[in-house]
Each structure stands twice: as C-alpha cells, then as structure tokens.
C-alpha cells in the first residue's frame, strides 16, 4: 500500500499518477492536421515513492515524461519516468532515499554525493537527443522516441559547472542551444555559467560569472548579442537547510537585477541593472536587442507567487499580489546609469507560462501566447493546483496591434502550458497551431487540444483523448521530425 501524504501537494487534482504506458493511435474528436510530423514532449513531477517528508512539495517529484508522436494525422502516446540516478537507487531500495527539495542534508547517508536531479522541469530535443532538465543538476540525456535514459552529460568533460538550466533557448540563426547554470560551484554558491551547445551537441564555450546574491535563477533571456539574467530574491542559505526549512524563501528587501552578458564576452564585460522596485518574475516570454537597448518580456507580480517558498519574514502569502501580468523591461548597455530604462505593463490578463513562435527567439517578435487565469469564470472541479492558480484560458497578444484574444476551457477544466507549432517551416510568424494539455478535473480525463494560433476564439479543431487525467505538469517542447534521430 502506498501512502502518500494527505496534503494538497498529493491529493485532489495533484493525486499521484505514476503511470508508464504506451498507447497507439489515440482517439481524436475533430481533425488533426495530417502534415504535422514531430514530437511533443512534456513532463510532470510525480513522486515514484511516498516522500521522506510529509510536507514534500510539488517541485520535488520525479520527472514523468509524456511523448505525443504526431504523424499522418495519428498520435501515439508514450509515458516514461526519466531514469535519474535518484530514481534508479530508490527503485532498488523500494523507497525514497532522497529527502527535501534542494536539501541534501535530508538525504540518506547511502546517497550522499549523488546527483539529486529529478529531471522534472523541461524535456527538450537538441542534437538528436532529449535533454531532461532540472536546474540543480547536469542535463539527463534520453532517447527522444524510446524515452530510454542514457545518463547525465558533462559534454565530454567540457562542462565544468555543476548545473544546467531547465530553460535553454535554441537560437534560430545559429542553431545553438544557449544555456546557463547557477550554484555552478556547489550548492548555494553565487557562481553561474553561460554556455552554448552546437547543433551537433558540442559544448562550444562556458563562461563563468558571479551573481550579486544567490537566488533561484529559473529562466533567462537570450538576444542576438546578449545573455540576460533576471535576479529575483527567492533566496536561501545554509541556516535554512540545516533547519530543514523550505530551500527557498522570498526576501522583498533585496533588489531585483537584470544582468547582461555579451554572448561572446567574459564576466568583466557584464553589467547588472537595478529594477525600480522588487517584484516577482519567473518565466521569460522572449528577449531581443536593438543595438545597445535590450528588451526583456516577462510576467511580473507585485509579490511572491510561490506559497511553498514562504516570505523570509513570515509575511502571509498574498494571492492577489501573486498575480503576474506580462511586462516589458528595458535596459541600455550604452547608458551610464545602472538603473532600468523603463518598465511597461503590456496586458491586464493574469498570465504565466508565456510562449512564442520560437523561430523568433532572440529576435524582435510580434506574437505571444500564455496561460491566463480569469478569476471571474466559474469552476466546478475540486481543489487548486500547485501554486493555487487555476489557469482557465489561453491568451494571445499581438505586440504590433495590441490586440488580445483568448480561448476559455470551460468550468470543469484547467490548462497546462501551451506550445506553438508553425504551419510550415517558412510560414509567417504566428501562422500555425497552439497545442495544450487540458485537464478535466470533474471527469478525470485529459485532452491534448489543437487550436489555430491566430484564431484562438474558434476553439479546438481537435481534441486528442487521453484515457486518464495527467497530473499538473511544467514545460513541454515541440520537435519537428527533421530534428529526430530516425523516423
Ligand atoms: C520551477 C520548477 C522547478 C524548480 C524550480 O518555477 C522552479 C518553476 C519543477 O521544478 O526546481
Ligand atoms: Fe519553468
């Protein structure tokens, strides 16, 4: 009998799923565009074994990866755990050996020094491999089609930093995977790296730099000329870990910075710009530069959005202050000032999980999509999800016209992160599809929906039926068949 904790992190809509499965030819309502040939990988944290500590939180679950293989209008589903070193030894033991999120002091003696990755944040195809990512560890390499795990990579010994971000960007001009690491010289260190991996999978360079303070550096931006790092004070220290408090705590007294590193530069070339006030911000929609001016688009909230990373001074969690809205930050590398040039609010939609047409990553762009929470829409299902947000719309923003539109998923459901797929390799920006997992929390089934990216209000052209409900997940990525190892 498994005995998961009777807490919001493991019950209701966050019931563990733990299902490894192969399903051939999923049922479809509507029509899947038959020319779509590729893969959609997404991941959910989903603890294989009951956690060592009953207050275990969502971000600590083992990565369970779902692969949707699109070909000839048909879709096959494969779901496998990322076979991390952690999961391998825990399966041998038949129980959890690793303890609290990002706290090795809580692990069993027998696993001391092992890589702690759960590979639960982003799966992404590059150089014919699937990289299953967790920001506290090196990348785990898997086969994109069989989902067999090869193991962690240090890029043939070239990567000296200890970590690899879960939010790399593929530069559409060079084909390089641009990535970074933080806590690169060990837990809680201020050391970071910036790296680029060639389309063949070779680590081209790794630049070390230091952040002004240690914090969760969950995402970043890449422009044609710069790598851009937002520092938000979700901080930690050894005292927290020794006391077995949650690894991270929000410290509103620290400034928000935007660090700018020339992509080919060194740490001495780097500048840190200070924001006008301290805010919460996590996922980056896109970044680009016009000469020395850098634009950085990001959902920004007035206060902490992670209730499980509490305020360090025990200020109560404020769910209204936690609501993010897409903003555009601007800094200027030619300015003598170390302050932001401007901060502009781009929408009144409460939004997170921003996405773009990735052919425009690093470049000036027109179209953005995101998950939206409309608190005025009814909800008939149980419980909330990880951070208390219930994302019930997919929103689209046209940066050229300011026009905004959306699709609402109905009162029984919640939506997971959307993904844009271009209609063809040379289609205009935004011309294509939005796909997203939609969880019906009343019937307990999930659908993968397909929408016209520029006509969301038309609703799904297809609903791919999954005969169970997926658990809330994190990120997903599309890979065209040309990027896969074999067909
Ligand atoms: C996030 C997710 C993580 C994590 C740190 O903001 C940040 C998302 C799923 O794990 O370890
Ligand atoms: Fe993320």
Is the predicted pLDDT of residue 1 greater than 70, yes or no? no
Q: What is the pLDDT of residue 387?
A: 53
pTM, rounded to two decimals: 0.97
Is the predicted pLDDT of residue 383 greater than 80, yes or no? no
- Would you place residue 364 in the very low, low, confident or very high pLDDT band (cuts 50, 70, 90)? very high
Residues in the chain: 487
CA torsion angle 49 50 53 55 (round to 10):
120
Ligand 1 atom closest to the Cα of residue 45 is 9
Cα 279 to averaged position of ligand 1 atoms, centre (Å):
18
Q: Identify whether 298 is part of a domain.
A: yes
Residues contacting residue 30 through CB under 8 Å, at least 6 positions apart: 450, 460, 461, 462, 463
Q: Identify whether 300 is part of a domain.
A: yes
Cα–Cα distances in angstroms (integers) from residue 477 to residues 63, 121, 189, 418, in the given order: 15, 11, 30, 9
For 86, the 3-state DSSP assignment is helix
Cβ(118) to ligand 1 under 6 A?
Answer: no
Is the predicted pLDDT of residue 13 greater than 90, yes or no? no
Q: Identify whether 397 is part of a domain.
A: no
Strand partners, 5: none
- Mean pLDDT (the chain, rounded): 96
Q: Identify whether 457 is part of a domain.
A: no
Is the predicted pLDDT of residue 386 greater than 60, yes or no? no
Ligand 1 atom closest to the Cα of residue 283 is 6
Q: What is the pLDDT of residue 80?
A: 99
Spatial separation of the C-alpha atoms in residues 425 and 423, rounded to whole Å: 7
The token duo for 297 is 């688009």
Cα–Cα distances in angstroms (integers) from residue 426 to residues 357, 380, 430, in the given order: 12, 42, 11
Residue of 285, 288, 291, 221 lying closest to 259 (CA atoms): 221
Q: What is the pLDDT of residue 381?
A: 84
Cβ(57) to ligand 1 under 6 A?
Answer: no
Cβ(120) to ligand 1 under 6 A?
Answer: yes
Spatial separation of the C-alpha atoms in residues 191 and 182, rounded to whole Å: 6
* CB half-sphere exposure, 307, CA atoms < 13 A: 17
Q: Identify whether 444 is part of a domain.
A: no
What is the average pLDDT across 117-134?
99
Q: What is the pLDDT of residue 2?
A: 64
Range of the domain at 241: 171-346
Cα 115 to averaged position of ligand 1 atoms, centre (Å):
17
Domains in the chain, number: 1
Q: Identify whether 18 is part of a domain.
A: no
Q: Identify whether 207 is part of a domain.
A: yes
What is the average pLDDT across 5-26?
95
Residue of 195, 319, 190 lying closest to 257 (CA atoms): 190
Q: Identify whether 20 is part of a domain.
A: no
The overall longest dimension of the chain from CA atoms, in Å, is: 64
């Amino acid at each position: 009998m498994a005995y998961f904790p009777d807490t919001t992190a493991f019950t209701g809509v966050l019931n563990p799923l733990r299902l490894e499965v192969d399903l051939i030819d999923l049922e479809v309502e509507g029509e899947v565009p038959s020319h779509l040939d590729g893969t959609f990988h997404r991941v959910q944290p989903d603890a294989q074994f009951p956690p060592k500590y009953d207050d275990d939180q969502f971000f600590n679950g083992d990565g369970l990866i779902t692969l949707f293989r699109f070909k000839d209008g048909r879709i096959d589903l494969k779901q496998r755990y990322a076979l991390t070193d952690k999961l391998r030894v825990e399966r041998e033991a038949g129980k959890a050996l690793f303890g609290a999120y990002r706290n090795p002091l809580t692990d069993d003696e027998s696993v001391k020094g092992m890589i702690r990755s759960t590979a639960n944040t982003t799966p992404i195809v590059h150089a014919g491999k699937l990289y299953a990512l967790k920001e506290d560890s090196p990348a785990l390499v898997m086969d994109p089609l069989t989902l067999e795990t090869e193991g962690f990579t240090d890029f043939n010994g070239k990567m000296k930093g200890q970590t690899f971000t879960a939010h790399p960007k593929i530069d559409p001009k060079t084909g390089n995977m641009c990535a970074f690491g933080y806590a690169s010289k060990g837990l809680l260190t201020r050391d970071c790296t910036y790296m680029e991996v060639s389309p063949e999978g070779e680590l081209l360079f790794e630049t070390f730099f230091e952040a002004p303070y240690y914090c969760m550096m969950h995402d970043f931006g890449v422009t044609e000329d710069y790598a851009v790092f937002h520092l938000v004070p979700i901080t930690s220290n050894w005292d927290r870990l020794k006391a077995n408090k949650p690894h991270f705590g929000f410290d509103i007294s620290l400034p928000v910075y935007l660090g700018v590193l020339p992509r080919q530069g060194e740490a001495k070339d780097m500048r840190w710009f200070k924001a006008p006030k301290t805010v919460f911000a996590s996922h980056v929609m896109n970044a680009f530069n016009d000469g020395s001016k850098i634009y950085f688009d990001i959902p920004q909230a007035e206060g902490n959005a992670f209730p499980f990373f509490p305020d360090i001074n025990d200020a109560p969690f404020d769910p209204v202050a936690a609501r993010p809205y897409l903003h555009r930050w601007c800094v200027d590398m030619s300015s003598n000032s170390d302050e932001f040039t401007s901060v502009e609010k781009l929408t009144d939609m409460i939004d997170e999980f921003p996405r773009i047409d990735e052919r425009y990553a690093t470049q000036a762009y027109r179209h953005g999509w995101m998950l939206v929470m409309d608190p005025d829409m009814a909800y008939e299902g149980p419980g909330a999800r990880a951070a208390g947000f219930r994302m019930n719309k997919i929103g689209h923003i046209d940066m050229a016209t300011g026009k905004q539109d959306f699709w609402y998923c109905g009162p029984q459901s919640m939506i997971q992160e959307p993904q844009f797929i271009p209609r063809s390799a040379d289609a205009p920006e935004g011309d294509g599809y939005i796909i997203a997992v939609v969880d019906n929390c009343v019937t307990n089934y999930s659908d993968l929906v397909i929408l016209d990216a520029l006509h969301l209000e038309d609703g799904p052209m297809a609903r791919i039926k999954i005969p169970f409900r997926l658990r809330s997940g994190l990120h997903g990525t599309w890979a065209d068949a040309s990027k896969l190892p074999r067909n």
